[in-house]
Amino acid sequence: MRPFTELHTSVYKPFLRQLLKQAANRKMKRVASMAPFEACYDSSTIHRSGVPSIHLELQEGVTWTIHETNLMVKTKHNVVCLGFVDGGTRPTKSLAKASIVIGGHQLEDNLLVFDFDSSKLSFSPSLLLQNTSCSHF
């Protein structure tokens, strides 16, 4: 289990460039990076325009949208960072390097359903969009 989503370098670099561009268009003020994160922002500049959502296109036309709460990680007072990291190009513990490894932060407040008979994984939209959470009653 990874705490934050790791993207293979060949995926991460263009992804980061696009996010930086969209954040600049929304007037989000970038601040110094905080390891392991590269894209960090003054959180007071985000509330005006919001963080761009990320849409992951999966098999069979399924789209999973990741919203601000699951994208950004509060690292210190008034600083939030994109919770995606460069996973590099070399395998770590497995024989093959996955292009994307979804991290725990991005899975928070989403319900996951494992259907072992059909080898499928289903998921809900963020529970936060419905004013509820997995960690609050």
pLDDT tens by residue, 27-43: 999 999 999 999 999 99
Per-residue pLDDT band for 94 (boundaries 50, 70, 90) equals low
CATH no., domain 5-109: 2.40.70.10
The overall average pLDDT reported for the chain is 85
**Sign of the C-alpha dihedral computed for residues 77, 55, 128 and 87 taken in this order:** negative
- Identify the pLDDT of residue 97: 67
DSSP string, 77-94: TTEEEESEEE--SS-SSS
pLDDT at residue 96 greater than cutoff 70: no
Q: Is residue 95 predicted with pLDDT exceeding 60? A: no
Extract the tokens encoding 109: 């407040």
What's the pTM?
0.81
